[in-house]
Structure 1
Amino acid sequence: MTAKNYTGLLGVILVLVGGMCPMLRVPIFGNWNYWDIDTVLASIVYSLSALALIAAVTRKQGLLRFSGWLLLLMLVFTLTAVYFKANDYFSFIPLKKLAAAATRMIKFKWIGWGLMFAGTFIIILFSGKEKVSLKTSPKMPG
């Protein structure tokens, strides 16, 4: 395996570990990781991580970069959805000040989000195409 494959593998590990870390603190329910936030989105992200893992092991740099971009898209979508859901979570409370106070009690835990985004950026940035050296290419006849 090349260094790019190892960095892709490191990125996948960071995404998987970040998904298991606490990402949201909900007052009564406790800390939520990616799976607790939404099982469908978590299934998609873990499947894309498995695809990236397979691409890193089999040296498919294009597939690794593609899965990295899809992971980034899913993470941005999830972060946006969680932000809007957290702001709308207590909308059933008729008193607006009480609802706003309850909304402020929901806290983001940035270590999980940070690990997932760092792993995704590592996958994208270090999964470029292999450069072909002119010294190792066969000589042209004539």
Structure 2
Amino acid sequence: MLKVPVKGNWNLYQADPRLLYISLGILALTALFLFVRALRMFRVMAIVALIWSAIMAAAVWFKVHNYFGSKFFDKVLSKTIHFQWGWIVLLVAVILLATSVKKERLEVK
């Protein structure tokens, strides 16, 4: 998810474990609601996952850009650490998850 020059590639656990655990909890609840066919709650949790993923990407971006609290070191660090393609995959996945269930009415004849 992040490319760090000295250490190599970091996944979300190495960047911030709390964000990973909350994300896994949200996705586990979403999967549970899908398997028990609670589609209304699945839709709500998919939207929560979409919002959480955007907040998570912003949190990691701010953590990278304000790691030391010093403008010089933060500027150097933010130029060396780059986001990887995993963020795009994550955001596309939660967008597909949020748009996978439509609200339709059945007409009984």
Question: Under a length normalisation based on structure 2, what TM-score does the superposition of the two structures give?
Answer: 0.84
Work out which of the residue numbers 64, 69, 75 in structure 1 matches 2:47: 69
How far apart, CA to CA, are the structure 2 residues paired with 1:67 and 1:39? Answer: 21
> Which protein has greater RCO, CA pairs closer than 8 Å, 6+ apart?
1
Q: Hey, what does 1:112 align to over in structure 2?
A: 86
Measured after TM superposition, the shift of residue 131 of structure 1 is 3.0
Cα gap change, 1:113 to 1:99, in 2 (>3 Å) = closer
Map of 1:36-47 to 2, 5 A cutoff?
A: 36-47=14-25
Measured after TM superposition, the shift of residue 102 of structure 1 is 3.5
Q: Hey, what does 1:132 align to over in structure 2?
A: 106
- Structure 1: runs of 5 or more not aligned: 1-22, 136-142
Measured after TM superposition, the shift of residue 29 of structure 1 is 2.0
Q: Structure 1 residue runs of 4+, over 4 Å off?
A: 90-93
Percent identity of paired positions between Structure 1 and Structure 2: 27
Measured after TM superposition, the shift of residue 30 of structure 1 is 1.6
- Structure 2: runs of 5 or more not aligned: none
Aligned partners of 1:61 and 1:128 also within 8 Å? no
Map of 1:25-36 to 2, 5 A cutoff?
A: 25-36=3-14
Cα gap change, 1:102 to 1:38, in 2 (>3 Å) = closer
Q: CA RMSD in A?
A: 2.0
Give the 3-state SS of the residue equivalent to 1:25 in structure 2: strand
Give the 3-state SS of the residue equivalent to 2:9 in structure 1: strand
Question: Under a length normalisation based on structure 1, what TM-score does the superposition of the two structures give?
Answer: 0.67
* Equivalent residues, number: 109
Quick one: which amino acid aligns to residue 53 of structure 1?
A
Quick one: which amino acid aligns to residue 51 of structure 2?
L
